[in-house]
Structure 1
């Protein structure tokens, strides 16, 4: 599986802040964030930077309250992807 596909899978199945994973039509909803995250991973990002990015997406882009524990959990999974 390509890194971008793995990131999209994690975002949809583990992160999914707007609760759309059951909607097949929303499959590409998080693609723009996946591309940014893949770039961050290839550039050697840290756990803290990923957590901050996911939190900013949730609070600034989506206008939802932060769920820092979820951001940490998902960031750890993202960092475990074998590039």
Structure 2
């Protein structure tokens, strides 16, 4: 069974991936600095809106991109739907 940290790490790299790094680098790592913050939000049962806001700040402020609201909304929705009881 995968851990929450590793599940989120993989998903951030392959599913959210705002800079498109996964096409060129199959090994996760580029977004590792943001994974613990997401896991903390998930552990405290943050709302989908809170997850979106965190991702949006990372995408537009920390990384400095224009942002893709549709992709980020979809990813926040997916994160919010994770069953934490099934992850170690």
What TM-score does the superposition give when structure 2 sets the normalisation length? Answer: 0.86
Please give the per-residue CA displacement for 1:30-55, whole angstroms capped at 9, x wherever unaligned.
Answer: 11111100000001100001111111
**4+ residue segments displaced more than 3 Å:** none
Partner of 1:21: 22
The equivalent residue for 2:40 is 39
> Alignment RMSD, CA only?
1.2
In the alignment of these two chains, the number of paired residues is 82
Residue in 2 that maps onto 1:12:
13
Identify unmatched segments of 5+ residues in structure 2: none
- CA deviation profile, 1:13-45 (whole Å, cap 9, x unmatched): 1110111113145x2111111110000000110
Give the structure-1-normalised TM-score: 0.90
Structure-2 separation of matches of 1:13 and 1:56: 19
- Alignment map for 1:42-81 (pairs within 5 Å): 42-81=43-82
